[in-house]
Structures are given as structure tokens and as C-alpha cells.
Structure 1
Amino acid sequence: MKQLFTARMSKPAVPVALILLFAGFLALSYNIPFIAPFAIAVAGFISLYILFGKQGIIYTFSKPQKPVSTYFLGLVGAYIFAGIGIFITKELIGNTPNSNPVAEKMTLLGLIKTIPMLLGEELITIVLLLIIVNLLGGTRKALVIGVVVSTLVFGFLHLPTYDWNFAQVIFIIAAARIPFTLASLRSNSLYTGLFIHITYDWIVFILVIISHH
């Protein structure tokens, strides 16, 4: 995946890719029948292709390096970051986080349906990061900017889900996102961040399902 930081990228395709990703997000947000769960993932794959060609998809989904250690570090890190975010949001800011309506209605079948949606969330974040880093020359500074911007965008995309609670999406949702991205970067593959993201969300979802029975 890191190969794409300095790979040849189609700059005219950048606005098209951003429009596609936004259209995918809207399709999911408005729950368009049959399309919604897959919309962002499909938009992400198309965006990678028009930006970098076939290599964009191959490099993004390459075989992970150090997958086991990176997976556990990322998963633990996500819960630590989220925990710190909850403390900041509730205790320091005095803000009450909102519950996730998706989690409240989750079923075992619904868990399976989250996989393409979580893949879409990973793709929209990583594609944004790749665009930013590539446009800024692939430097370490560019990478930091790319991580920060893509993380904040990821958080802001969750604003409608959490009733426009800015503190919650910045300090909890976006904070938990950082280890997903860092894990993908460390392993040089989106697969690692995706598996961590699925595990992170599913643990919460399963606990909610159990509590309702």
C-alpha cells in the first residue's frame, strides 16, 4: 500500500474519486435498497482503479506484513484510544455520548451485513489518505497530514449516526480510527485495519445483542 504514496496517480481522477466516495456515503446514509451496504466499498474499489489503475487495488490489498502482532496491537490500541476519548468527552468536556442506533437494532444476521459496510469505511479512509499523501509528495509530513485529515473525515461521516455530537465523533470515533489506519500502514495492507475494525465493532455489537436477551 505504501507503494502508492509515490506511485503515478491520475490527478484528473481525484475529484471524480471524491464524488464517487461521497455518492457511496449518501447511498448508505439514505439506505437505498440493495445498494446501501455495498455502496462505499464499490465506490472505493472504483476510486482506487481510476486513481492508480489495477496496481492501486493490488497494492492496497497486498499480503499483510507482521499481521498477528499488528492485529492485536491495533485492536488493543483502538480500545485504549476510545477509552481515553470517552474520559475526555464525559469527564473533561461534560458531554454525554449518544448510543449507536445501528448497534441497538443489531441482530446476528445484521453482523454479516456490516462486513461490506466496514470494508467501505476502510476504503473511504485509506483512499483519502492515499490521495493526500500522494499529492503532497509522499513525505513523512504528508503521511501525518493524510492520517489526520482522513481520520477527521471518518469521524465527521459518523455525525448523523451520533446525532451531530461533535465531541463524540472527534474524541471517541475518530480516536478509535487511528489504530485501524496505523495497523494498515504497519502491515502495508488494508486487510489488517479491516479485520481490526470488524473485531472492534463486532465485540460491541455482540455485547448489545446478548444484553437484549
Structure 2
Amino acid sequence: MQRFWFERKNDQREFLLLDTKLDQWRLWALLLFVSIATVVWVAFAKTVTFNSYLATTVFDDVLPMTIMIGGVLYLSQGQLSQLFSKPRWSDFGFAAVMFILQLAYALAAATGLQALGGSLGENGSATEIAESNNKLVAYCQSISSDLFDLMNEELLSIVIFLTIAALLIQYYHFSRRASLGIAMLLSMLIFGLLHFQAYDWNLVQMLAIIAVERFFLNATFIHSKTIWPSYVAHMIFDGLAFLAAI
């Protein structure tokens, strides 16, 4: 079997959705579902304001994550339940290396962009923390919200990666390596554009920094074939960004 970047050398496991052939309509349905569900979720979060933190948590965090997971499992006929399989300890070691590279890239790219006269949009959650009267409470609330929101972001990015690769390999007869490469690029692009609200439509920042950060998270997933290492790395990265606001 032709190996893709970051796959374990002796790992005989295929990518999810590639080892068992799903109907073409199911792959397209998965792709459309995670994309549309994410757009609706972002629009809902932007336009609807709740009076209590509990209501915000339930309707803006827990419910969207539950719908996303349920839809993904249903449309994949349960195949994507393996996304939540138990990782190996070595997966987190690899994730730590990717995390350091991601952090180094983000800092270098941000510094370079500013040196060239570009501007950086402020992360919306970090700004709320910085402007809060009780920064510690605001920080804890943002982290607790991220527990659900980042699961949605990971599902979106990984499902897009897997479904595009499966479609290209199984139904459009691309090579495995080319299919996974195209899927990687599209997953990165969509992940970057997903942050339009968080960074106030700063396209350069979204594409040159945020989208490329997805490369390191995808690499973590490719190595582990489970969502947990990239999810934990994503949580820590955001946690550090929010901590800087304090």
C-alpha cells in the first residue's frame, strides 16, 4: 500500500471511509452535511444572544456538537465511530512534535506578516477575555466552550479530508496519494475560511496562518487515525492563545 505523509511505516490500517466503500451519495451527503451544519452553526452563534451562560452552553455548544456527531455517524453508517477509537500513547508524542511545529510556524508567520506591513485580526474570544472585568472567569468559560466547539471544528476538517479523498479514489479514479493531497489542501482551505468571524475577514491571516496550521493538525490525525490527539492539540493551542489575553 502506497503510504501518504505521516502515516506509520508499519501501520496496516487504512483511512476511515477508504477501507469500506460507502455509496457515493452518502459521501456527498457527509460532505454537504458537515459544511452546511457548520455555516448554520456559525450564523446562529453570531445572530442569537442568550441571557445566561448555561443557555449559551446548551444551545451554542452542546447541541451543535451533538447534531454534528449524530449526523456524521448516521450518514457514514457508523463507520466514522472509529474516529473516537482509543489512541496510542505514541500518538500524543507525535502530536506534541506537530504542536511545537505549529506554534513555531504561527509565531513566525505572524511576525513575518507584520514585518511586511500586514495586519493581524484579533481573535474574538481572546478580545472578550481581555476586555472582561473578570478575565479568569471569561477564560474558563471560553475553554469550556471550546471543549464542544473544537470537536465540531475537528469533525468538519477531518470529515472533509476523508470524504473528498474517498470520492476521488473510489469514484473518480485518482491515485491514492493525489487524492489525499487534494483532500489535505481543501481541508486546510476550508478550515482557514471557517475562521472568518473570529478574525474579522482577514483573508491573508486566514489563508497564510490559520489554514496552514490545519496542516499540522491533519498530520496528527493521519498518524493516529483517531480524532483525540488533534483535538487535544487544538485545545492546548487555543488555551495558550486565550491565556495570552489575560
TM interval, short-chain normalised: 0.7 to 0.9
- 1:90-101 counterparts in 2 under 5 A? 90-92=114-116, 94-101=117-124
Report the Cα offset of residue 13 of structure 1. 2.5
2:31–2:159 Cα contact (<8 Å) kept:
no
- Output the aligned Cα RMSD: 2.1
**Mean alpha-carbon deviation: is it higher for 143-152 or for 26-35?**
26-35
Verify: 1:86 aligned to 2:110, yes or no: yes
The one-character-per-residue Cα deviations of 1:27-75 (angstroms, maximum 9, x if unpaired) are 23322553222355334323432342222212x1222242231121121
- Counterpart pick for 1:169 among 194, 199, 206: 206
Verify: 1:30 aligned to 2:83, yes or no: no
Q: Mark the structure with the bigger radius of gyration.
A: 2
- For structure 1, the residue ranges without an aligned partner over 5 or more in a row are none
Counterpart Cα distance in 1 of 2:112 and 2:203: 13
Distance 1:121 1:175, change over 3 A: same
**Residue aligned with 1:189, SS:** coil
1:71–1:192 Cα contact (<8 Å) kept:
yes
1:28–1:40 Cα contact (<8 Å) kept:
no
2:65 corresponds to which residue? 41
1:181–1:193 Cα contact (<8 Å) kept:
yes
- 1:175-194 counterparts in 2 under 5 A? 175-194=212-231
1:89–1:95 Cα contact (<8 Å) kept:
yes
Counterpart Cα distance in 1 of 2:31 and 2:17: 17
Q: Which runs of 4+ in 1 moved over 6 A?
A: none
Report the Cα offset of residue 17 of structure 1. 2.8
Counterpart Cα distance in 2 of 1:13 and 1:39: 23
Overall identity of the aligned pairs, in %? 23
Counterpart Cα distance in 2 of 1:145 and 1:207: 35
- Counterpart pick for 1:16 among 29, 38, 41: 29
Counterpart Cα distance in 2 of 1:144 and 1:39: 33
Counterpart Cα distance in 1 of 2:101 and 2:193: 21
Counterpart Cα distance in 2 of 1:84 and 1:141: 29
- Counterpart pick for 1:72 among 85, 89, 96: 96
Report the Cα offset of residue 202 of structure 1. 0.3
Report the TM-score when normalising by structure 1: 0.87
Distance 1:19 1:146, change over 3 A: closer
- For structure 2, the residue ranges without an aligned partner over 5 or more in a row are 1-13, 49-55, 130-137, 171-175
Q: How many pairs were matched up?
A: 207
**Residue aligned with 1:131, SS:** helix
